[in-house]
């Protein structure tokens, strides 16, 4: 079975709008993957343009790391797209908590990946080519937004399922990721 990320953008949008349940997690993960792709392109363009003297080995390693994050986000998009069906099946089998954990793990992990990618891109600022400097800032801003959206989804799930075991596991994650999000520094304006 193909994941939703095998669809065209139009097909994915249609699938999201036609479902009997909201696909917030898949939308957030797909948006984050696109933001990471933009950042990876900025890194690659910077490496190829050589506006600045760049350590090719270092930049190539960073590109590999950010590409791995993008792949992880794509996988989470596909996983989250079917998570509601898995949750319903687990609930019917009497293992509702496992399904709830799956639906909490996804936004927590997507947020973690967004924060990791945004931090990497922020650290790349001094090396970015002038040609794509603004695009890098847009990628960082998009990742800050998708990280925030993932946190909102996790918080929503904890509101819906206020079980002690879930709160004990995910509330510290929520607090830690909110703190990390506060450490990001997306620019408020391009022209300063």
**What is the value of pTM for the model shown?**
0.94
Please report how many Cα atoms fall inside a 13 Å half-sphere around the Cα of residue 14, on the Cβ side. 5
pLDDT for 190: 94
Closest-CA residue to 157 (of 113, 112, 69, 97): 97
In whole angstroms, give the CA distance from residue 84 to residue 96.
11
pLDDT for 114: 98
In whole angstroms, give the CA distance from residue 96 to residue 86.
10
Q: How far is CA 130 from the centre of its chain?
A: 26
pLDDT for 12: 93
CATH number of 4-182: 1.20.120.680
Q: Domain ranges in the chain?
A: 4-182
Closest-CA residue to 104 (of 32, 24, 33, 20): 24
pLDDT profile of the chain (192 residues), mean per 10: 86 93 95 98 91 81 98 96 89 92 96 98 95 97 98 98 97 98 96 82
Listing DSSP states for 96-134 in one string gives HHHHHHHHHHHHHHHHHHHHHHHHHHHHHGGGS-GGGHH
């Amino acid at each position: 079975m193909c994941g939703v990320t095998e669809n065209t953008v139009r097909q994915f949008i249609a699938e999201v709008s036609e479902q009997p349940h909201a696909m917030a997690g898949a939308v957030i993960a797909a948006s984050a993957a696109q933001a990471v792709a933009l950042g990876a392109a900025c890194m690659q363009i910077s490496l190829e343009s050589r506006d600045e003297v760049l350590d090719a080995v270092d930049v190539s390693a960073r590109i590999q790391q950010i590409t791995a994050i993008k792949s992880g986000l794509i996988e989470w998009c596909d996983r989250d797209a079917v998570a509601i069906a898995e949750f319903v099946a687990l609930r019917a089998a009497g293992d509702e908590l496992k399904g709830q954990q799956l639906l909490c793990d996804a936004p927590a992990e997507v947020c973690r990946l967004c924060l990791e990618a945004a931090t990497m891109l922020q650290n790349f600022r001094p090396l970015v080519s002038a040609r794509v400097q603004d695009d890098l800032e847009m990628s960082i801003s998009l990742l800050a937004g998708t990280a925030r959206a993932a946190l909102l989804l996790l918080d929503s799930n904890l509101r819906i399922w206020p079980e002690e075991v879930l709160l004990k596991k995910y509330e510290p994650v929520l607090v830690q990721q909110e703190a990390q999000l506060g450490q990001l520094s997306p620019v408020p304006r391009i022209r300063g």
